[in-house]
């Protein structure tokens, strides 16, 4: 199991704690320090069954200043997310061919 984690995010910390409380040793990927590639992000989105725009954090300053009133294709959103990883909703937990967004953190229980 992998968790795409931001230690500064309370939901991300809560999700990681929930995994640990259930005896799961997840590989922690600090995606802000280790940016995803477009290929990796496509794979994650496929497992989440989401489109790139659905994974965008619309409360982020970067979104409000640069993307709020724009219409981008899925490919353009992929590039925007890779170039601006703060825009990626978090945490994301992946197990095999399935993934969930840890909002709320209890979503992760579906993977355990």
- What are the tens digits of pLDDT across the range 69-105? 999 999 999 999 999 999 999 999 999 999 999 999 9
Give domain 2-111's CATH superfamily: Glutaredoxin (3.40.30.10)
Give the Cβ contact number of residue 73 at 10 Å. Answer: 10
The stretches of 1-112 forming alpha helices (DSSP H) are: 10-21, 38-48, 61-66, 74-83
List the one residue out of 91, 96, 108, 109 whose CA is nearest residue 5. Answer: 91
pLDDT tens for each residue of 1-47: 999 999 999 999 999 999 999 999 999 999 999 999 999 999 999 99
As a whole number of angstroms, the distance between CA 89 and CA 101 comes to 8
Tell me whether residue 9 is one of the annotated catalytic residues. Answer: yes
Residue 11, both tokens = 């939901």
Catalytic pick among 3, 9, 80, 88: 9
**Collapsed DSSP state (helix, strand, coil) of residue 84:** coil
């Amino acid at each position: 199991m992998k968790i795409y984690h931001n230690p500064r995010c309370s939901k991300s910390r809560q999700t990681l704690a929930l995994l640990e409380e259930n005896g799961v040793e997840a590989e922690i990927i600090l995606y802000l320090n280790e940016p995803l590639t477009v290929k990796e992000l496509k794979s994650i989105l496929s497992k989440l069954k989401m489109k790139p725009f659905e994974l965008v954090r619309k409360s982020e300053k970067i979104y409000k200043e640069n993307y709020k009133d724009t219409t981008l294709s899925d490919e353009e959103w992929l590039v925007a997310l890779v170039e601006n990883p703060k825009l990626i909703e978090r945490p994301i937990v992946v197990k095999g061919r399935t993934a969930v967004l840890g909002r709320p953190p209890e979503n992760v229980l579906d993977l355990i």
